[in-house]
Structure 1
């Protein structure tokens, strides 16, 4: 009985253990099923995407950057492919030793090392950084034979920007450069679509049109999906979307005219802006000295950067856009139209000019070459009378002057299609309160108004602003926003999108008033300060010379005392428009420290008008002497514009549009295949010369036009305060 009872208990315990074991097994099996369901059902899409990403590698294909061409189709910025030697620092154990060993295989200069170190400071450790660019086929083959020795070092085919004309038009074109950390941080605010489009892009526009039209020039990034093995080796291409090249910028600039003006400046500093007053298209946009934008394409070396950045001539400063200067006597025609428009003075009013003007116990003088006598408005402009405009400024007052001239574009941005424009200074009582912090500096004194009449004092404008104002005056009040880009051409759809200048509300100027001023400006070229410069011109033009103080004079100090210091000499100005009857060009030119307006600036203006209106190009003898301010009217035998080649070219025509397009396509193809191609066996890169691209439909060029860059403004506010006390020779 006891045995049966024990057996029954053992069986009960056994069943309990069996049930517990079965439950445990079922529980574990349930966990496995649940996990399987979670992975196979709930996480199916996520895991499938992860598996595909391990199997499929998506490689971005950087698009071919758009071309930039002038109004006649001359290519100013293009692309070419070249090989680069690149190092990924995170994959290299000893960076210095690796570079030393590489230098035994390829030529690596100290400047290459310095540039590489600078790129490392600006980039992340896992990025591939170039230490040598533009390798030859021989160098590529030499490295390929010893590639096994250098883990983390590779050769890549990349697109490079090329500016065929070098320094010509550098400030308006700008340049591209490697994206730095600050720019990468700014990209965090971009949309997902924009960020995706820049995946794989390492270079963006840094200055000029390259920066302002970055989105148009960049294009659409393509991609390749490659199936890879477990070791990361490409097995086959699954699908791809080719990149869409950037659009072509078709400029209103005549690059041959631009190059001619830059030559005429020589080694002098200054700026010139020439535009079509009928639509605001800019024909020439010159800032001197210039620089070679090709230096920045693959990273400028420290020595070149130091030379550019520390030069007293400030070659990186876009003087046409950011350099501000007192306008001198070129301001007098605008003072005249302001007086007529406001009714403060009639054109027939005669003022006795005794060469001095007294106000508040101070005497304001005139140039030593001025002649005394009674002068009406026309004669005051033609002879550039200081006394006439001293008295006019006193009658009008600073606020009326501001209100009348601000609509011409003085003291405000013109909104040209470039970034970084400065507004300049057109003073008023409110302006002074905003400008200065201390209460004693904020008060406007009546004596400060006197110098404004002759373009001195606090007046400070850019050459672009002055040229825009001349354009408005020459057309009797028509206003346009100045534009450098004429058309944007979609190279895929072969469509041209017009970017014509925006017409602004015209100024309400009376035709009789503008006729008085324009007639007087025409008189300047016939009997006034620029008559010798425009002698024998085949067209009628209007103009005005200006000689503006670069520094203020102390009481009793004479100009001759500071003239010996070249950088303290007066600035030379000239404004012009032509033909008088129906202007097709208006311009402003300044030569820094060039002294008399008629000796330095006016001769440059004459040759620009000859180019545009008469289709003539100055002789080499004339150019050489004009660079030294030793000419008036052109000398020697002028040439036809069509017969003069562009800088660096022979007299033969440039490469055809088809060749230019083929070169661009080849560059894009080389970059597209860089991921999977062996650079050592690929076709070698070639750098194109200046080329011509197709010119889209648009209005014809002006008659005779040859159809066959964080610098600060130059003006010192302290000099402005001193300039309110002009002395003899202050404005001519």
Structure 2
């Protein structure tokens, strides 16, 4: 054969051998990668096909009153879940459960562990455990902590309630939550969600190809126990809360707020009508939830912080403080005798006593709640001065209580407010000074106002939890002014013509102020009463409003007295050596 041909064939053969060698090298490297480098990844993928990660829900922290009485706790609840397999098998399992319990089941196949029914009874648990699982359906029963409110409606607006997290909410908080989780929706449950919520744990179960559990704990060393949430011990005193609830007429709506006059700690906060928060955490109470939401009496509204009312004559003390500081009046000064009405321009303003009170000084005018006396003060004070003192007492802004963002600010109208609404006339000030017109307050704002009147002008920040927030001093008011105003409020309760006699409590000296406010379109007046006690060094301040309650001295004053009486009993229980004071510590001349 021609040597050139042989050489050509040799070159071709060598090229072929090189190509074959390269091919085998590539195959070898790929095999090495699959068997050695990614073996662990494939092993894990294989394991994941048969090992299910199960979330173990953490118990939520307890909510307690200041003595440790439980307001919110956890109870064991049974849920039915399905370990996801293929779509057809899942549908058959759900259909079998629906047929067995006679109820429809809603579910979403987004997670490997699909919750089908929550908070089921023992009968349903028995059906799943004894029948359906025995027939091979991959259903299982989970025991989960569920919120429970042992006192029902007693403190519902304070504690709040929990509700199911919606899908859009869960997407915004994907790190900690999943669709179907329960979270705080209102009240302290919502405000302190991060503190109350624990950290969920993890456990594993081994399943077969159809999702049936083969081993409950294949990897106990990998499990992570759940961490419970932190407890919340409140300033709330349930004994005082109960006293407020007993004293409030069942047939009427309203609110009672009691504060520690020194620190702002909320001792009681009642809103009526109320509701049972257990309705919102149970899947069995959907009809009741719907009824509550649609109820025209608005039981879900926390009237203490979201109800806005004209304050009536309780607001007259703003003008009293302003007038004393301006030198317009003192304990002896009188104006033209009250004849039962006062004409300003073309408008006649009437007193609560249509026959008139006659000639009065500030103390007597406060005790008898004479509208005309305070109308005279307003004419001299002027709108700007009155508005400035209204601001100093914290009206027109939220108090900052840790139930935000539910708290309303109320309305403290200035001259511009009236100009923009319907034009300014002096009559607006005549109404505002006696707590009418466009003036609106929340019961919590009024309780803080009562505390400031008693404690010498310290505006406290109401709170349920934690250390007392900073206070704010009402500047520009002398101790003498505070003392005179307190004397007038004392005379409301103990004076011969006082409107608050029904607030008296044996064993403790107190001071107060009644109010009766019109709130169209309601036909009946709202009843108000504010009080603080003990008189010399107030520890508790109370505000009461009763919708359609009529006269404040008749309806609201006894409720305030009952709350203070409960506080006195509680104080003596805590400090048995503390002797009760006399009914009144003031002399006849001071009264």
TM-score range, shorter chain: 0.7 to 0.9
Q: Aligned in 2, Cα 1:139/1:185: closer, same or farther, shift over 3 Å?
A: closer
**TM-score for the superposition, normalised by structure 1:** 0.71
Q: Name the CA distance, whole Å, in 2 between partners of 1:201 and 1:465.
A: 37
Q: 2:323 maps to which residue?
A: 339
> Which shifted more, 166-175 or 349-358?
349-358
Mapped contact 1:407–1:507 kept (Cα < 8 A): yes
Equivalent of residue 186 in structure 1, options 165, 172, 185: 172
Secondary structure of 1:533's counterpart equals: helix
Secondary structure of 2:402's counterpart equals: coil
- What does the per-residue CA deviation read over 1:497-556, in whole Å, with 9 as the maximum and x for residues that have no partner? xx111122322331100011000000000124445414563221101111100216xxxx
- 1:258 aligned onto 2:241: yes
Mapped contact 1:63–1:245 kept (Cα < 8 A): yes
- 1:426 aligned onto 2:416: no
Q: Aligned in 2, Cα 1:89/1:402: closer, same or farther, shift over 3 Å?
A: farther
Q: 1:511 maps to which residue?
A: 479
Mapped contact 2:138–2:210 kept (Cα < 8 A): no
Equivalent of residue 243 in structure 1, options 213, 216, 226: 226
Secondary structure of 2:271's counterpart equals: strand
Mapped contact 1:545–1:602 kept (Cα < 8 A): yes
Mapped contact 1:226–1:238 kept (Cα < 8 A): no
Q: Name the CA distance, whole Å, in 2 between partners of 1:46 and 1:343.
A: 86
Q: Name the CA distance, whole Å, in 2 between partners of 1:317 and 1:360.
A: 41
Mapped contact 1:613–1:704 kept (Cα < 8 A): no
Total equivalences in the alignment: 570
Q: Aligned in 2, Cα 1:71/1:458: closer, same or farther, shift over 3 Å?
A: same
Mapped contact 1:463–1:590 kept (Cα < 8 A): yes
Q: Aligned in 2, Cα 1:226/1:342: closer, same or farther, shift over 3 Å?
A: farther
TM-aligned CA deviation for residue 326 of structure 1: 0.3
Q: 1:577 maps to which residue?
A: 532
Q: 1:462 maps to which residue?
A: 442
Equivalent of residue 165 in structure 1, options 135, 138, 151: 151
Q: 2:584 maps to which residue?
A: none
- 1:520 aligned onto 2:488: yes
Q: 1:364 maps to which residue?
A: 349
Secondary structure of 1:304's counterpart equals: helix
Structure 2 residue runs of 5 or longer lacking an equivalent are 581-591
- What does the per-residue CA deviation read over 1:87-128, in whole Å, with 9 as the maximum and x for residues that have no partner? 6899665999977754553364xxxx5xx65x87xx968773
Query: Whose RCO is larger (CA < 8 A, sep 6+)?
Result: 1
Equivalent of residue 298 in structure 1, options 261, 282, 285: 282
Q: 2:583 maps to which residue?
A: none
**Structure 2 matches for 1:300-319, cutoff 5 A?**
301-319=285-303
Q: 2:363 maps to which residue?
A: 378
TM-aligned CA deviation for residue 382 of structure 1: 0.7
- 1:74 aligned onto 2:57: no
TM-aligned CA deviation for residue 344 of structure 1: 4.7
Mapped contact 1:350–1:374 kept (Cα < 8 A): yes
Q: Name the CA distance, whole Å, in 2 between partners of 1:169 and 1:443.
A: 43
TM-aligned CA deviation for residue 231 of structure 1: 7.8
Q: Aligned in 2, Cα 1:357/1:104: closer, same or farther, shift over 3 Å?
A: same
- 1:355 aligned onto 2:340: yes
TM-aligned CA deviation for residue 224 of structure 1: 3.3
Q: Aligned in 2, Cα 1:258/1:87: closer, same or farther, shift over 3 Å?
A: farther
- What does the per-residue CA deviation read over 1:704-727, in whole Å, with 9 as the maximum and x for residues that have no partner? 99xxxxxxxxxxxxxxxxxxxxxx
Q: Aligned in 2, Cα 1:429/1:39: closer, same or farther, shift over 3 Å?
A: farther
TM-aligned CA deviation for residue 387 of structure 1: 1.0
Equivalent of residue 196 in structure 2, options 193, 217, 230: 217
Q: Name the CA distance, whole Å, in 2 between partners of 1:55 and 1:141.
A: 26
> Which shifted more, 198-207 or 421-430?
198-207
Q: Aligned in 2, Cα 1:524/1:445: closer, same or farther, shift over 3 Å?
A: same
Q: Aligned in 2, Cα 1:42/1:126: closer, same or farther, shift over 3 Å?
A: closer
TM-aligned CA deviation for residue 227 of structure 1: 7.4
Secondary structure of 2:219's counterpart equals: strand
> Which shifted more, 593-602 or 27-36?
27-36
Q: Aligned in 2, Cα 1:227/1:211: closer, same or farther, shift over 3 Å?
A: same
Secondary structure of 1:599's counterpart equals: helix
- 1:400 aligned onto 2:389: no
**Structure 2 matches for 1:143-162, cutoff 5 A?**
143-148=128-133, 151=137, 153-162=139-148
Q: 1:323 maps to which residue?
A: 307
Secondary structure of 2:530's counterpart equals: strand
- What does the per-residue CA deviation read over 1:242-293, in whole Å, with 9 as the maximum and x for residues that have no partner? 2221111111111122123223221310001001111111110100011011
Q: Name the CA distance, whole Å, in 1 between partners of 2:84 and 2:554.
A: 58
TM-aligned CA deviation for residue 465 of structure 1: 0.5
- What does the per-residue CA deviation read over 1:60-113, in whole Å, with 9 as the maximum and x for residues that have no partner? 3221111111111111111111212346899665999977754553364xxxx5
Structure 1 residue runs of 5 or longer lacking an equivalent are 189-194, 434-439, 486-498, 553-566, 617-640, 643-698, 706-732
TM-aligned CA deviation for residue 14 of structure 1: 3.4
> Which shifted more, 148-157 or 321-330?
148-157
TM-aligned CA deviation for residue 180 of structure 1: 1.0
Q: 2:587 maps to which residue?
A: none
Mapped contact 2:418–2:424 kept (Cα < 8 A): yes
TM-aligned CA deviation for residue 480 of structure 1: 2.1
TM-aligned CA deviation for residue 19 of structure 1: 2.4
Q: Name the CA distance, whole Å, in 2 between partners of 1:362 and 1:470.
A: 32
Q: Aligned in 2, Cα 1:391/1:93: closer, same or farther, shift over 3 Å?
A: farther
Mapped contact 1:614–1:704 kept (Cα < 8 A): no
TM-aligned CA deviation for residue 199 of structure 1: 6.0
Q: Aligned in 2, Cα 1:226/1:129: closer, same or farther, shift over 3 Å?
A: closer
Q: Aligned in 2, Cα 1:385/1:156: closer, same or farther, shift over 3 Å?
A: same
Q: Aligned in 2, Cα 1:21/1:347: closer, same or farther, shift over 3 Å?
A: farther
TM-aligned CA deviation for residue 159 of structure 1: 1.2
> Which shifted more, 237-246 or 142-151?
142-151
Q: Name the CA distance, whole Å, in 1 between partners of 2:89 and 2:426.
A: 71
Q: Name the CA distance, whole Å, in 2 between partners of 1:284 and 1:535.
A: 19
Secondary structure of 2:359's counterpart equals: strand
Mapped contact 2:367–2:492 kept (Cα < 8 A): yes
Q: 1:543 maps to which residue?
A: 512
Mapped contact 1:92–1:151 kept (Cα < 8 A): no
Secondary structure of 2:473's counterpart equals: coil
> Which shifted more, 332-341 or 290-299?
332-341
Q: 1:284 maps to which residue?
A: 268
Q: Aligned in 2, Cα 1:68/1:42: closer, same or farther, shift over 3 Å?
A: same
Secondary structure of 2:151's counterpart equals: coil
Q: 1:449 maps to which residue?
A: 429
- What does the per-residue CA deviation read over 1:470-497, in whole Å, with 9 as the maximum and x for residues that have no partner? 1111100123211112xxxxxxxxxxxx
Q: Name the CA distance, whole Å, in 2 between partners of 1:16 and 1:231.
A: 60
> Which shifted more, 394-403 or 223-232?
223-232
Q: Name the CA distance, whole Å, in 2 between partners of 1:476 and 1:209.
A: 30
